[in-house]
């Protein structure tokens, strides 16, 4: 649904052509990629049969985790909130051991901080721990 909204708005802006791209060209391309990936994930989700959770339960819990992340980001700070959010998302989606999930979450958080915080100088909220 979101990808269709992106495509609609990109068409309103005018995508132009390959030789003369308009202001909506990048959004139009992103909308097409987002739509294709969404369709692929939905089809893949229908094929996966997990006894623990249905596909729709995972989708709802994923949205709940992302909503909770947006609420605690300012309080806990980027590093702690991202680590906890990524850990929760990985645990929902992967059937790996806790050590694998925690290690991967730490790596993702570290890489995001290095790329966006150090390299691109993006401001991240600092939590009550000062990190």
Asked which of 28-32, 48-52, 89-93, 95-99 is least confident by mean pLDDT, the reply is 48-52
pLDDT of residue 47: 67
Neighbour count for residue 79 (Cβ, 10 Å) = 20
Convert the pLDDT of each residue in 76-131 to its tens digit. 999 999 999 999 999 888 777 889 999 999 999 999 999 999 999 899 988 887 77
pLDDT of residue 22: 86
Between helices 25-47 and 2-13, what is the axis angle to 10°?
A: 160
Q: How far apart are CA 106 and CA 97, in angstroms?
A: 14
Q: How far apart are CA 48 and CA 98, in angstroms?
A: 22
In this predicted structure, the answer to whether residue 51 has a pLDDT above a threshold of 70 is: no
Domain boundaries, the chain: 1-47, 53-131
Q: How far apart are CA 46 and CA 20, in angstroms?
A: 40
Question: What is the rounded average pLDDT of the residues 71-75?
Answer: 91
């Amino acid at each position: 649904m979101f990808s269709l909204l992106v495509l609609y708005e990109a068409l309103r802006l005018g995508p132009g052509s390959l030789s003369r791209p308009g202001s909506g060209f990048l959004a139009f391309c992103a909308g097409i990629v987002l739509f294709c990936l969404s369709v692929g994930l939905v089809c893949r989700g229908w094929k996966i049969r997990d006894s623990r959770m249905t596909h729709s339960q995972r989708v709802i819990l994923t949205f709940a985790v992302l909503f909770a992340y947006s609420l605690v980001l300012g309080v806990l700070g980027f590093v702690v909130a991202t680590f906890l959010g990524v850990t929760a998302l990985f645990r929902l989606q992967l059937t790996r051991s806790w050590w694998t999930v925690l290690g991967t979450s730490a790596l993702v958080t570290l890489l995001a901080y290095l790329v966006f915080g150090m390299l691109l100088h993006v401001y991240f909220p600092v939590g009550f721990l000062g990190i």
